Amino acid sequence: MRRTSSAVIKLLKLAGPLTPMLLFSAFSGAVSSLSVPAIFLLGAYGIEKLLYGNPLILWSVFGGMLVLALVRGVFRYTEQYTGHYVAFRLLAKLRDQVFTAMRRLAPAKLEARNSGELVSTVTGDIELIEVFYAHTIGPVLIGVTVSTVMTIVLWMIHPVFGMIGLAAYLTLGCVIPIINYQHEKDKGTAMRRIAGQFHHLQLDIFSGIRDIRLFGRKKLYEQKLMNMEQELSHEEIQLGKNAFFLRGLGESGLLFFTFAILFAGTILVSSGILVGSSVLYAAIAFFASSAPVLALNQLGNGLIPAFAACRRVVQLIEELPAVKEAASGYEPSTFEDVELGQVDFGYDDQPEILKAIDFHLDKGDKIGLSGASGSGKSTLLKLIMRFWDPTHGEVMLNGEPMTLIQTRALRVIEGASLQDAFLFNQSIADNIRIGNPNATDEEVATAAEQVNLKQMIDRLPHGFETKVGELGDRLSTGERQRLALARLFVRDSDLILLDEPTSNVDRLNEHMILRALDERFEGKSMLIVSHRRSALNHTDAVYAMEQGRLKKIR
Amino acid sequence: MINKRLFRLTKGARKWLFISVLNSYLSAVFYMASMLLFALLLQSILMGQTALWHVLFALPVLLALLFARMQTNGHMVAAAARYSNAARSMLRRRLYEKVSEQEIRDRGSFSASELAQTAAGGIDQLSAYFGRYIPQVFSTMLIPPTILLVLGVFNWVVALVLVLCVPLIPLSILVIRKLAKGQSRKYWRAYVSLGERFLENIRGLTTLKVFQMDETIHREMNQNAERFRTSIMQVLRGQLNSITVMDFIVYGGSGAGIAAGLIQASQGNLNLVGLILVLLLSTEFFLPLRYLGSLFHVAMTGVSAAERLFQFLDLPEEQYGEQKLSATSSYRIEAHELSFSYDGTRPILQSIDFEAQTGERIALVGQSGSGKSTLQRLVSGLLRGYKGSLTINGNEWRDLDPDSVFQQVGLMSSDSRLFTATLRENLRFGNPNAEDAALIAALERVNLRSFFDTLSGGLDTVLTENGGNLSGGQKQRLIMARLLLADRSIYLFDEATSNVDADSEEIMLDVMRALAQEKLVIVIAHRMYSIRDADRIYVLDRGAMVQSGTHETLISEEGAYKRLVEEEEKMEKGVCADEKNELGSH
């Protein structure tokens, strides 16, 4: 609980400069909400005048109503406008903060086993916090303000009415939303889970529809689709019913408490304490002020997850990186050699994957690294890239310990292609330019040719400007891998690090790419991690990684 | 107001719509009744005629009304959800039927992934359209007139004043909509894409850091967010006007109604109960309209999602025959002057002749765009509508029932898919009755046994989307194992090895060779070396069959085949040199 509150405080600080705007939004909301009971009180005033035979000042009543209607509209506008302003500002700010944190924590953080989940949680969390800050705090403030003001108004008419009002606002604004939350918490998550599964099932089935057809499994998969559809539909109906039951409870509560005012009013009037018109005022004032309080019913669900989201995001922002990047220090301009001395390494609390590794790669060397998957060969490469620091021993570049080398300079020297190379939903050209934003069109085209993609790209209607996402499954895994590799060709690196560069590429393409790499980086150094002999054939020496140890095999 | 075609789709489910609207109407009636009760009570309080028994008598009536209202609300929302679910289910079924019975010809504009996205996302977008918008349209047509009727009983002038305010609402929505037209959707998309970019950049952060692009991208992202924010605030300024106008009309209108009531009452045309009722119900009169207005964007998104769906459903139907292909041990496929065009104008295949029979391994080669894949889709029975003749054991393809063809013809291509399910389920896709031992034997045939043995989950190991947790070679070999389990008589392999490593390719080619001993195997190849030993090679060039024969005869002719081989040999040269190197070093 304390962690939650401190996280929320930190978050409020983060959103700090936006607080006045947020308060203004809530203020506008309260004014616009209060103008509604005011309109009806004016109506009641008209009735009272009429009833007691006073001359009806119709135009002032009607004029007043119109003014109040205008106030209502104008302040609704400012409420919404400032609310949106806060929301968009906050969203941008949170994304900025989280991205800053992730930049600090990557790549180690993204290498972890559940990183996919982390990424989707973080994006979801940001939206939750945004909803909390921009669409929850406001309504709560409005609800509280309106309830307070109206309780005072009712109290002024008669304390009994004030007490009924207070009880009503507490019930409608607090008790019912909390019950609502309790009800929906599990159901809601369950339904979102099933909905997510259903979405994936549909994607899966409709993507594979041709195979389903060819294998005569139409009925089977239609059945699967229908079963899940029914399950989801059942949940949806239950959830909808629940939500509406509680909303109905709120409305009924409103009518019930209105009735309570009439009941108390009857007693007060018949015992001569109040005149009838006071009861009219009280009933109308209460009845017309309920909307912002009832609106709180729909909020409850977002609150608790938003707190959890606050905790997670603040934790992420404050988390210490696995590797502290060096902003200053030795700035190597060329690559001389890399040396691992008695290096031990294990991920987090898992057993050591590298044990007492000695390894040396000199300028101009082309070394291959083989071994079964999980043997630690990729890990060795990542130590050289300083994704991680070794548990024991030292990694040295040009004779300097890695920790003292400016990380940016290290990245200039090293050019790497990793296993799960990521393609962005940008144009093909922009994806290649990730390797070097200043690459000319010609250089980009040459790079594409070197990975044997040029022909394919030229056949596309928009050529190099085609967005990767639009290609969808028309871009095969092999082509994706080759596209990511093209990034290396537009970049001048001294040490090329390749992790399974050709795992999804056929023999001829593999050969072409490796030869092109040889030509492009002639005289430069290279380390290729691969379990395939064909890829290792391009190297001068091959080491095998076995049970955390390194053995020269060629 | 309501998209006719979408509404027509829900024919079988309209019962639920009716129940939902009916309950919503009843709920409104109960509400009005309780307002009438309040008005009566207030009247007696105001007139000083109140007595406790009035109130005590009113309480059970009120409670009964509240209870009834809760009940009707529950029915209303459940029925609306049923209606929406039934409607979406019907759409989904239609789409499923369409694509599971039909080959989507126009692969260009409807890729498999887009189809999937539309089916999953597009139909879900219609949830609110059916579940909220359509019921609300009907409720809005019923409830305000009833309120009007009730007030009209007390005084028709008040009712008239309220009616006169009604056209202002849609009018104002229309005017403002026109002002903001086009902009809103564009900006909404920009907003969504901002979020998508953020997610994407976090996912690809390792790549960005390796290439030191993280700072640039971060800056770019912040700039985009800022630019988006300033422009969307401008748009919002316009759009939020509708809120001001709408609220002014709702409450100003209510005010006008109340004012009219006061005048009428002062002239003695309206009694006190009626006047209080006007006060309590005048806003209620406008609220359904306002709610409907707020659902307009739901309607817009729904309709635009539906448009894409209808495009799918409207694609021309393939004409299939009904004759069953009988199972035998030997098959012979013959094509004579076979021509095909997708659009009727641009020919894809022109007067093609070829033949193939059980026990043969036939290869089809040619540059991409030569018509190979179209020929594959014809032979596998997916496409019809050809000219000329294409027969299997003497049966014209166009007369055959496709499902009976699929029982004999198995197809595997580079875009065959695996499913998000266990390994067992994926293999049983080929043959639902296969025992575990048979599944493992199939894995052995494609040399996946040793890989399989490393899996701790065994056959229960879950594959991620389309075999995402497998390498290209493993995936294709698994798909091959699945096909072997299906045990077809005719096998078509369409560039099945284009994304696999050399070792996997070798294994797969061996399986194809072995299959040809007793089955008919047709291989569409992207590498000449892989089909050198085929029994017959057909060479396609721009839709025409230009050469056919064995490798030996074709290589001695000047022609397309020789060119293709030479082109490849140029690439190959280096590989051979390397392989020699490798031999020398061992």
Q: Which amino acid is at B580?
A: K
Quote the pLDDT of residue B573: 65
Query: Residue A344 CB: number of other CB atoms within 10 A?
Result: 15
Domain B4-155+270-313 classification at class level: mainly alpha
Question: Cα separation of B65 and B299, whole Å?
Answer: 33
B residues 519-578 lying closer than 8 A (beta carbon) to A: 527, 568, 571-572, 574-575, 578
Is residue A47 domain-shared with residue A176, that is, in the same domain? no
Of B527, B529, B533, the residue nearest B513 (C-alpha): B533
Quote the pLDDT of residue A508: 79
Instruction: Provide CB contacts within 8 A for B32, sequence distance 6+.
Output: B146, B147, B150, B281, B284
Residue B404 with chain A: CB contacts under 8 Å: none
A residues 321-350 lying closer than 8 A (beta carbon) to B: none
In the block, residue with structure tokens 């694609």: B315
B contact test, residue of A34, A51, A95, A238 with most B CBs within 10 A = A95
Kind and range of the H or E element at A542?
A: strand A541-546
Coil, helix or strand at residue B352 = strand
Does A234 reach chain B within 8 Å, measured CB to CB?
Answer: no
User: Pick from B208, B256, B578: which is nearest to A511 by CB?
Assistant: B578
A residues 156-185 lying closer than 8 A (beta carbon) to B: none
Q: Facing residues of B338 across strands?
A: B352
Min Cα–Cα distance to chain B from A511, Å: 6
Instruction: Provide CB contacts within 8 A for B229, sequence distance 6+.
Output: A88, A89, A92
Among the ranges given (A35-39, A42-46, A326-330), the one the predictor scored with the smallest mean pLDDT: A326-330
B residues 397-426 lying closer than 8 A (beta carbon) to A: 403, 406-407, 409-411, 414-420
Is residue A311 domain-shared with residue A290, that is, in the same domain? no
Min Cα–Cα distance to chain A from B471, Å: 7
Coil, helix or strand at residue A378 = helix
Q: Where are the beta strands (DSSP E) in B516-575?
A: 520-524, 536-541, 544-549
Min Cα–Cα distance to chain A from B395, Å: 19
Q: Facing residues of A370 across strands?
A: A544
Q: Which amino acid is at A383?
A: L
Per the domain annotation, does A332 fall within a domain? no
Does A124 reach chain B within 8 Å, measured CB to CB?
Answer: no
8 Å CB contact of B258 and A46: yes
Is residue A289 domain-shared with residue A362, that is, in the same domain? no
Q: B272 and B265 in contact (C-beta within 8 Å)?
A: yes
pLDDT level of residue B574 (50, 70, 90 thresholds): low
Is residue A284 domain-shared with residue A341, that is, in the same domain? no
In the block, residue with structure tokens 């392989």: B579
Is residue A311 domain-shared with residue A213, that is, in the same domain? no
Is residue A153 domain-shared with residue A181, that is, in the same domain? yes
For residue A62, give the chain B residue with the closest CA. B259
B105 has pLDDT over 50: yes
User: Pick from B101, B210, B430: which is nearest to A418 by CB?
Assistant: B210
Residues A105-155 pLDDT 10s? 888 877 765 666 777 778 778 888 877 777 788 888 999 999 999 999 999
Q: Facing residues of A89 across strands?
A: none
Question: Cα separation of A95 and A97, whole Å?
Answer: 5
Is residue A86 domain-shared with residue A163, that is, in the same domain? no
pLDDT level of residue B583 (50, 70, 90 thresholds): very low
pLDDT level of residue B454 (50, 70, 90 thresholds): confident
Domain ranges, ordered by start, for chain B? 4-155+270-313, 167-246, 332-585
Q: Enter the DSSP assignment of B370.
A: S
In the block, residue with structure tokens 């070999």: B477
Per the domain annotation, does A456 fall within a domain? yes
Cα separation of the two ends of chain B: 79
Indicate the pairing of strand B332-341 with strand B347-357. Answer: antiparallel
Residue B244 with chain A: CB contacts under 8 Å: 73-74, 76-77
Backbone angles phi, psi at A548, to 5 degrees: 80, 0
- Residues A48-64: b if buried by 16+ CB within 10 A, e if exposed: bbbbeeeebebeebbeb
Residues A194-217 pLDDT 10s? 888 888 888 888 888 889 988 989
Q: Tell me if the bond preceding B145 is cis, omega within 30° of 0.
A: no
Residue A222 with chain B: CB contacts under 8 Å: 93, 96, 100
Question: Cα separation of A394 and A401, whole Å?
Answer: 7
Model confidence, pTM: 0.81
Sign of the torsion formed by the C-alpha atoms of B239, B243, B244 and B246: positive
Question: Cα separation of B73 and B26, whole Å?
Answer: 9
Residue A200 with chain B: CB contacts under 8 Å: 420, 465
**3-state SS, one letter per residue, for A53-100:** CCCCCHHHHHHHHHHHHHHHHHHHHHHHHHHHHHHHHHHHHHHHHHHH
Quote the pLDDT of residue A472: 63
A contact test, residue of B82, B84, B205, B504 with most A CBs within 10 A = B205
Coil, helix or strand at residue B269 = coil
Last residue of a domain, one of A322, A357, A377: A322
Does A295 reach chain B within 8 Å, measured CB to CB?
Answer: no
Min Cα–Cα distance to chain B from A473, Å: 7
Does B204 reach chain A within 8 Å, measured CB to CB?
Answer: yes
Q: Which domain holds residue A276?
A: 141-298
Residue A268 with chain B: CB contacts under 8 Å: none
Helices B14-46 and A276-288: crossing angle in degrees, nearest 10, is 150
Number of H helices, E strands in chain B: 23, 10
Alpha carbon of A394 to those of A338, A341, A412, B259: distances in Å?
11, 5, 21, 87
What is the 3-state composition of chain B as percent helix, strand, coil, each rounded to the nearest 5?
65, 10, 25
Is residue A350 domain-shared with residue A497, that is, in the same domain? yes
Mean pLDDT over residues B63-82, rounded? Answer: 92
Question: Cα separation of A421 and A429, whole Å?
Answer: 16
Q: Which numeric CATH code is attached to B332-585?
A: 3.40.50.300
Q: A415 and A491 in contact (C-beta within 8 Å)?
A: yes
A and B: number of Cβ contacts within 8 A:
419
From its phi and psi, is residue B491 left (phi > 0), alpha (psi between -120 and 50) or beta? beta
Per the domain annotation, does A327 fall within a domain? no
Mean pLDDT over residues B356-370, rounded? Answer: 89
Among the ranges given (B41-50, B266-275, B575-584), the one the predictor scored with the smallest mean pLDDT: B575-584
Does A233 reach chain B within 8 Å, measured CB to CB?
Answer: yes
Backbone angles phi, psi at A356, to 5 degrees: 45, 55
Instruction: Provide CB contacts within 8 A for B419, sequence distance 6+.
Output: A204, A205, A208, B425, B426, B429, B463, B466
Residues A47-95 pLDDT 10s? 988 888 777 677 888 899 999 999 999 999 999 899 888 888 888 888 8
Residues A327-367 pLDDT 10s? 888 989 889 999 999 999 988 777 888 889 999 999 999 99
Is residue A386 domain-shared with residue A277, that is, in the same domain? no
Residue B222 with chain A: CB contacts under 8 Å: 92, 96
Query: Residue A521 CB: number of other CB atoms within 10 A?
Result: 19
B445 has pLDDT over 80: yes
Q: A553 and A371 in contact (C-beta within 8 Å)?
A: no
A299 has pLDDT over 80: no
Q: B347 and B337 in contact (C-beta within 8 Å)?
A: no
B contact test, residue of A45, A54, A109, A207 with most B CBs within 10 A = A207
A contact test, residue of B44, B279, B313, B466 with most A CBs within 10 A = B279
Is residue A175 domain-shared with residue A130, that is, in the same domain? no
Residue B529 or residue A12, greater confidence:
B529
Quote the pLDDT of residue B116: 76
B residues 223-262 lying closer than 8 A (beta carbon) to A: 225-226, 228-229, 232-233, 236-237, 240-241, 243-248, 250-252, 254-256, 258-259, 262
Mean pLDDT over residues A512-533, rounded? Answer: 86
Question: Cα separation of B539 and B363, whole Å?
Answer: 8
CATH number of domain containing A341: 3.40.50.300
B residues 327-346 lying closer than 8 A (beta carbon) to A: none
Question: Cα separation of B62 and A199, whole Å?
Answer: 45
Mind giving me the DSSP string for A327-371?
SSSB--SS--EEEEEEEEE-STTSPPSEEEEEEEEETT-EEEEE-
pLDDT level of residue A314 (50, 70, 90 thresholds): confident
Q: Estimate to the nearest angstrom the gap between the alpha carbon of B500 and the chain centroid.
A: 30
Q: A136 and A302 in contact (C-beta within 8 Å)?
A: yes
Min Cα–Cα distance to chain A from B402, Å: 9
Does A551 reach chain B within 8 Å, measured CB to CB?
Answer: no
Q: Facing residues of B59 across strands?
A: none
Kind and range of the H or E element at B355?
A: strand B347-357
For residue B574, give the chain A residue with the closest CA. A511
8 Å CB contact of A103 and B218: yes
Quote the pLDDT of residue A272: 86
Is residue A111 domain-shared with residue A195, that is, in the same domain? no
- Residues B370-407: b if buried by 16+ CB within 10 A, e if exposed: bbbbbbbbbbbbbbbebeeebbbeebebbebebbbbbb
Residue A221 with chain B: CB contacts under 8 Å: 100
Of B518, B419, B439, B453, the residue nearest B484 (C-alpha): B439
8 Å CB contact of A269 and B244: no
From its phi and psi, is residue A540 left (phi > 0), alpha (psi between -120 and 50) or beta? alpha
User: Pick from A35, A208, A237: which is nearest to B419 by CB?
Assistant: A208
A378 has pLDDT over 50: yes
pLDDT level of residue B586 (50, 70, 90 thresholds): very low
For residue A473, give the chain B residue with the closest CA. B113
Mind giving me the DSSP string for B409-476?
EEEEETT----SSBHHHHHHTT-TT--HHHHHHHHHHTT-HHHHHH-TTGGGPBP-GGGTTS-HHHHH
Q: How many domains does chain A have?
A: 3
Coil, helix or strand at residue B343 = coil
- The pLDDT mean for chain A works out to 86
In the block, residue with structure tokens 């596209």: A483
Q: Facing residues of B409 across strands?
A: B490
Q: Enter the DSSP assignment of A46.
A: H
Coil, helix or strand at residue B219 = helix
pLDDT level of residue B102 (50, 70, 90 thresholds): confident
Instruction: Please count the CA atoms within 13 angstroms of the CA of A197 that sit on its side-chain side.
Output: 15
Residue B168 or residue B366, greater confidence:
B366
Mean pLDDT over residues B84-104, rounded? Answer: 86
Is residue A102 domain-shared with residue A193, that is, in the same domain? no
8 Å CB contact of A259 and B403: no
Q: Which amino acid is at A88?
A: F
Question: Cα separation of B48 and B43, whole Å?
Answer: 8
B585 has pLDDT over 60: no
For residue B256, give the chain A residue with the closest CA. A62
User: Pick from A84, A508, A534: which is nearest to B236 by CB?
Assistant: A84
Alpha carbon of A203 to those of A145, B86, B306, B313, B465: distances in Å?
47, 20, 17, 18, 9
